[in-house]
Amino acid sequence: MGLLVSCSDDDDDVDTGEPQPDTYNTEVYLTDAPIDNAEVDAVFITVTGVSVNGKAIEGFEKTTVNLSSLQNGETELLGDVELESGTTSEIVLSLDNETDASGEAPANYVLTSSGEKKALATSSAEISITDQVEIKENDDNEIILDFDLRKSIVTNSAGEFQFVSDSELAHSIRAVNSINAGEITGTVSDFGSTESETIVVFAYEDGAYSEDETSANGEGVLFANATASSKINESSGEFEIHFIEKGDYELHFVSFSDEDADGELELDGEVEATTTSEIDLLGFSVDADSEVNFDILLVGLLDL
């Protein structure tokens, strides 16, 4: 006699008696740090998906994002995902390398100051971001993906724009939970003898800066180990660096000029800076949900 086995749909939902881990709604956002290239007017990327710890944002629709519009704390919501508390193991940003959200090529591109579209492509459609984020036991988690254009895009020997290598690109996107982040702001009230086209302020983790940062790394990126950066507004003297994970930092001010009129900014040197506040520019703390503000006086260029 054969053995008859009856199966039902309910058999797949067997209660093992093991408690299911709690999950917490987590929103994922894009933001951007500015690029120090006078020829770049805007940068667009086309995102096809985002996943955290192997969980994809459900219902995500292909979208083309103007990263250059997401500066000074501006963000764009990509979606949300349910995550367990603890440290993330993997964050993956998926890009389309063929067409944008409207079906037009290129998918990722630089819009130059003259209005031309210059294609950008990666050798891989997935960027596995190296930063890890701590997910808290509440529904206020916000993963901020800071797509640092200054570190992400370089020009090759032919003067064409391109993304850095996949491994370097993975390090160029900073990930932080906004719950654990504060901001650094300031105003330059006196530019001293500095006559620069552009001054960029770089935030480094305390002790991470060295003179080697003024030399380009293997990908051609200057100040590659900076946590974040901001251009100083020429008219107001203000700068803002957002979504800085709580910790100890130092600030460095750097002058750039387009000396050969080729549209690219060349390094002039580091600028000596002081502050009227009691906070040390070369050693201060950023706390979660806080703002550290400086009144800056620039003295002049330091020798390289």
- Domain residues of the chain, as ranges? 21-301
Residue 136, CA distances (Å) to 22, 86, 141, 162, 245 in order: 11, 7, 7, 37, 14
Q: Residue 243 in contact with residue 144, Cβ under 8 Å?
A: yes
* Predicted pLDDT at 16: 60
Alpha-carbon span 63 to 227, nearest angstrom: 27
Provide the whole-model pTM.
0.90
Q: Residue 175 in contact with residue 131, Cβ under 8 Å?
A: yes
* Predicted pLDDT at 11: 47
Each residue of 99-126: b (16+ CB within 10 Å) or e?
A: ebbeeeebbbbbbbeeeeebebebeeee
Q: Provide the residue type at 154 as one letter.
A: V
Alpha-carbon span 200 to 267, nearest angstrom: 11
* Predicted pLDDT at 15: 57
Each residue of 185-216: b (16+ CB within 10 Å) or e?
A: bbebeebeebebebbbbbbbeeeebeeebeee
Task: Say which residue the tokens 């950066």 belong to.
Answer: 229
Alpha-carbon span 189 to 181, nearest angstrom: 26
* Predicted pLDDT at 265: 82
Residue 302: both structure tokens together: 């330091």
Nearest to 99 by CA among 89, 107, 111: 107
Q: Provide the residue type at 253 as one letter.
A: F
Alpha-carbon span 169 to 187, nearest angstrom: 31
Q: Which residues contact 14 (CB under 8 A, 6 or more apart)?
A: none
Each residue of 49-70: b (16+ CB within 10 Å) or e?
A: bbbbbeeebeebebbbbebbeb
* Predicted pLDDT at 303: 67
Task: Give the CA-trace dihedral at 245, 250, 253, 258, to 10 degrees.
Answer: -50
* Predicted pLDDT at 7: 46
Give me the average pLDDT of each 10-residue run along the chain (304 residues).
46 62 96 85 97 97 97 96 97 96 96 92 88 96 96 86 91 96 95 83 98 94 95 94 98 89 82 93 97 94 74
